[in-house]
Structure 1
Amino acid sequence: MSRQDARVPLLSREDLPEEFRYLFDEDVLGELNLFQSIGHVPRAMRAYMRYGTALWNAGDLSTRERELAILAVARTVRARYEWHQHVELGREAGVTTEELNAIARADDCPFSERERAIVRYASAVATGTVTDPMFEAAVEVTDVETVVGLTMLAGHYLMTARILDSLSVPIDDGEFAGWTLE
């Protein structure tokens, strides 16, 4: 999928009203096709960015655990853009290729008990299939605050996947990483 295949034009910093241009300067996020797409509604984009940032630090998830949860959501809903973006972020957080391939196969065996509970819970949030035992298992290895934060994080990435799909946002560097990695 190319930039021309996107359902909305991908905006540049200069396309935004002056008061919102700074959003494309923060952490170089404006270069991502996601933000170039949702920039058509700059106030909502700003709120989306702030909310996402707050969720990254919600509860007691490590960077690795957060990436495992995001990758689990992406795999569960087959969100190519999110998977592609978070493969590298996951690797930077210590997720191995073997572990990435396990997530892609919906195999949580290589993970610790805590990580398995997080991955299973995030996937269930994405499909709307959280059960009492699953919730309790996640709370048992973390705490209520962390599970609430995990719920919100998984929901945020599910919403992001739906936005990306609905707007046909192309993968940033054009070449999908693939569900199976080397």
Structure 2
Amino acid sequence: MRLTSPRIAPLADSEFDAEQEEIVAPMRAGGRVLNIFRTMARTPKAAKGFLAWGNYILSRRNDLPAREREIVILRIGYLCRSGYEWTQHTEIGLKSGLTAAEIAAIKTGAAAPSWSPADAALLQASDELHHDQFITPATWTALKAHFSDKQCMDLVYTAGQYTQVSMILNTFGVQLDEGQTLDPDLKGF
């Protein structure tokens, strides 16, 4: 975590106005409103746009299978040193078919020896998008050996979305939700 307290405080339940409450009502019905959404609700129009795009990324309309999508999200979150993002998506990744060992290997990236060629290509593409905002021809060829054009497009959309999410979380100082523990590798960033 880069900040130990929020720069933009998450809204308490008593602070939501009608428009903000409309945004978080589906989340509240599902169990709880996470700190990211309590923070983003401070700008309702931006939050609505963000949620619409984010819902595409996390839906079945995104043609990357959930496990592969989570590889991209976790790698981007790790590269951005976003403790909140890493923590949230570690749990989601496990539910999407990643093992604890695979999640640990995401920190190493494509160089970890355990990856299949398809997984290594996803990790390499994530690194290239993070560092240069471009996938090299060699990595594109490696991706295309395993993924369709739409899946490759969705990989770029996913990496871009979670780069933005990580910037929001890091800069606004969104803190972990109750009951979560920060990965020690992401302390002090």
Matching residue of 1:93: 96
TM-score with structure 1 setting the length: 0.87
Identity %, equivalent residues: 24
Gaps of 5+ in 1: none
Matching residue of 2:181: 175
Q: Which amino acid aligns with 1:24?
A: V
- Deviations 1:75-103 (CA, angstroms, capped at 9, x unpaired): 22221111111111111112111111111
1:58-73 superposed matches below 5 A? 58-73=61-76
- Indicate how the Cα distance of structure 1 residues 87 and 178 shifts in structure 2: closer, same or farther if over 3 A, else same: farther
Question: Residue 156 of structure 2 is aligned with which of 128, 133, 151?
Answer: 151
More helix by share: 1
1:94-133 superposed matches below 5 A? 94-106=97-109, 107-128=111-132, 129-133=134-138
Q: Is the 8 A contact 2:77 2:83 kept in 1?
A: yes
Matching residue of 2:145: 140
- Deviations 1:24-43 (CA, angstroms, capped at 9, x unpaired): 12244862111111111011
Q: Which amino acid aligns with 2:21?
A: R
Counterpart Cα distance in 2 of 1:79 and 1:147: 24
Matching residue of 1:160: 165
Gaps of 5+ in 2: none
Please state how far the C-alpha of 1:159 moved relative to its aligned partner.
0.6
- Indicate how the Cα distance of structure 1 residues 114 and 36 shifts in structure 2: closer, same or farther if over 3 A, else same: same
Counterpart Cα distance in 2 of 1:46 and 1:12: 19
Residues 27-36 or 79-88, more deviating: 27-36
TM-score with structure 2 setting the length: 0.84
Q: Which amino acid aligns with 1:37?
A: T
Could you say which structure has the greater relative contact order, defined with CA pairs below 8 angstroms and 6 or more residues apart? 2
- Deviations 1:51-89 (CA, angstroms, capped at 9, x unpaired): 011122344211111111101111222211111111111
- Does residue 26 (structure 1) correspond to residue 26 (structure 2)? The answer is yes
Q: Which amino acid aligns with 1:63?
A: A
